[in-house]
Amino acid sequence: MFGKDLISIHDLTCDQVAAILDTAIKVKANPEDYEHFLSGCTMAMIFEKPSLRTRVSFETGMTQLGGHAIYLGPNDISLGKRESVPDIARTLDRMVDIIMARTFAHQSVLTLAQYAEVPVINGLSDYSHPCQVLADFQTISEKKGELKGLTLAYVGDGNNMAHSLMFIGAKTGVNVRIVCPKGYEPRADVLALAVEDAKETGAAITVTNELNEGVSGAGVVYTDVWASMGMEAEAEARKAIFRPFQVNAALMAKAKEDAIFMHCLPAHRGDEVTDEVIESWQSVVFDEAENRLHAQKAVILRLMVAEGELD
């Protein structure tokens, strides 16, 4: 066990990140070895946003580990509206063994973790997306081998994905370059935390507005939607600003010849990425999507099972 909750990759040590990734690889290779670890356990899954990969991977993961998951959508729980977040946390705490929450406000996840004694997993917030990047780095490890020393160029908005990629790059020794339009950089406090974390591994965590500088020589090129959920009113205005940052064949050519392309999905084809790239031999987006299942099973196991039983 690496702690009570998984809220942000920044909260984990380098060894703890490595242990989750190692467990994810083992779970993927031999799922039958883990079928009964969570027999009789229940996960409450709180969703404020629509979901495909997060819901299916967590629900399937709990089933494959011998447990059960309950979907609680926006019409079932209105965090902080129909009932306060502390009251929801303390109610669920009496009935379930673990909570996963996919929210708009990061504070909602923090409050759930504060008031619930059972583990709480951040399934996505406006601050970070730790489960996604664990699956991402499992995928990179499968495709590239050793993580330390690789360079990942993230092209797009300095959002929760940018934050989490900086954090996990810092913990694993992967150089992360955030390549974004001026005014759309990641939060300065997050960058400062990631740079501090990176001192342990020697990773270079940088932010640039220059495409050539950011993508040149990268072994991984990553992008995300230009307007995240909740930013729909900005979507059209953002298209004009982000158009030069589209990941297309010309941009991929600036990276290493054997560079892989990644996207957390869903993708807006023709906006942040072209069909030519997402359907190319370089694209590993559906391997990433599959690895959400294995990485999240690893997180659940590491939160709920004693280390001696897993290692």
Q: Do the Cβ atoms of 220 and 259 come closer than 8 Å? A: yes
Specify whether the CB–CB gap between 134 and 21 falls below 8 A: yes
Spatial CB neighbours of 196, under 8 Å, sequence gap ≥ 6: none
- The yes-or-no answer on residue 136 being catalytic is no
End-to-end CA distance of the chain: 11
Whether residue 94 lies in the annotated active site:
no
Point out the catalytic residue in the list 10, 53, 55, 102.
102
| Residue 224 among the catalytic residues | yes
Identify whether the C-beta of residue 66 lies closer than 8 Å to the C-beta of residue 35. yes
Alpha-carbon gap, residue 234 to 179, rounded angstroms: 20
Query: Rounded CA gap, 145 and 155, in Å?
Result: 23
Laid out side by side, the sheet with 205-208 consists of 205-208, 175-179, 151-155, 220-223, 260-263
Active site annotation includes 82:
no
Q: Strand, coil or helix: what is 65?
A: coil
Backbone phi and psi for residue 5, each to the nearest 5 degrees, phi listed first: -130, 165
Rg of the chain taking only CA atoms, in angstroms: 19
User: Which candidate in 41, 131, 180, 264 is catalytic?
Assistant: 264
Catalytic site includes residue 292:
yes
Q: Which of 292, 294, 296, 302 is catalytic?
A: 292
Q: Which of the residues 64, 132, 246, 296 is marked catalytic?
A: 132
Of the residues 97, 136, 197, 224, only one is catalytic, namely: 224
In the residue annotation, 132 being an active-site residue is answered as yes
| Residue 216 burial class via C-beta count within 10 angstroms: exposed 0-12, middle 13-18, buried 19 and up | middle
Going along the chain, which residue ranges are E strands? 42-47, 68-72, 98-102, 120-124, 151-155, 175-179, 205-208, 220-223, 260-263
Work out whether the CA dihedral 176, 177, 180, 182 comes out positive or negative: positive
| Residues involved in catalysis | 102, 129, 132, 224, 264, 292
